Amino acid sequence: MTVQEKPPHSLAGLQRLARESAFRQEVLLILGLLVVFVVFGATLPEIAGLLALGLVLVATEALNTALEVLVDHLSPGWSAWAKDAKDLGSLAVACVIGAVVLYSGIVLIW
């Protein structure tokens, strides 16, 4: 895959991800926190930190969604390994959300 081919694939991935309600909620979380950061006078590096964590959250959600799509394809019925895979992907997203909340708390409280 060349550099020229990546934007169309990335755009298609973003369009697919936008169909996920979790992704839309996470974007709203980051946008809401961005407004709060600006209102409370956060510095540009603090805002950049929030946006960087927001990108990490989007990337993690994209990987989690890809994992779920593959698991659903490989195991249409219930299976322990499919449940484990989905639970672990969900945990990864929860950890990044925790990091966003922790970072925001530190910036807004101190």
CA-CA distances (angstroms) from residue 80 to 71, 84, 85, 103? 11, 6, 9, 34
Pick the CATH number of 19-109 from 1.10.10.10, 3.40.50.2300, 3.40.50.300, 1.10.287.3610: 1.10.287.3610
Q: What is the pLDDT of residue 5?
A: 63
Q: What is the pLDDT of residue 76?
A: 87
Q: What is the pLDDT of residue 7?
A: 76
Complete DSSP assignment for 56-90: HHHHHHHHHHHHHHHHHHH-SS--HHHHHHHHHHH
What tokens appear for 37 in the block?
A: 């950061």
DSSP 3: G
Place of tokens 């991935």: 13
Of 64, 59, 57, nearest in space to 30 by CA: 57
Of 31, 33, 27, nearest in space to 14 by CA: 27
Each of the 110 residues of the chain gets a pLDDT tens digit; together they read 565 666 788 999 999 999 999 999 999 999 999 999 999 999 999 999 999 999 999 999 999 999 999 999 999 888 999 999 999 999 999 999 999 999 999 999 98
Query: Would you call 46 a catalytic residue per the annotation?
Result: no
The pTM (predicted TM-score) of the whole model is 0.90
Question: Among the options 5, 26, 46, 61, which is catalytic?
Answer: 61
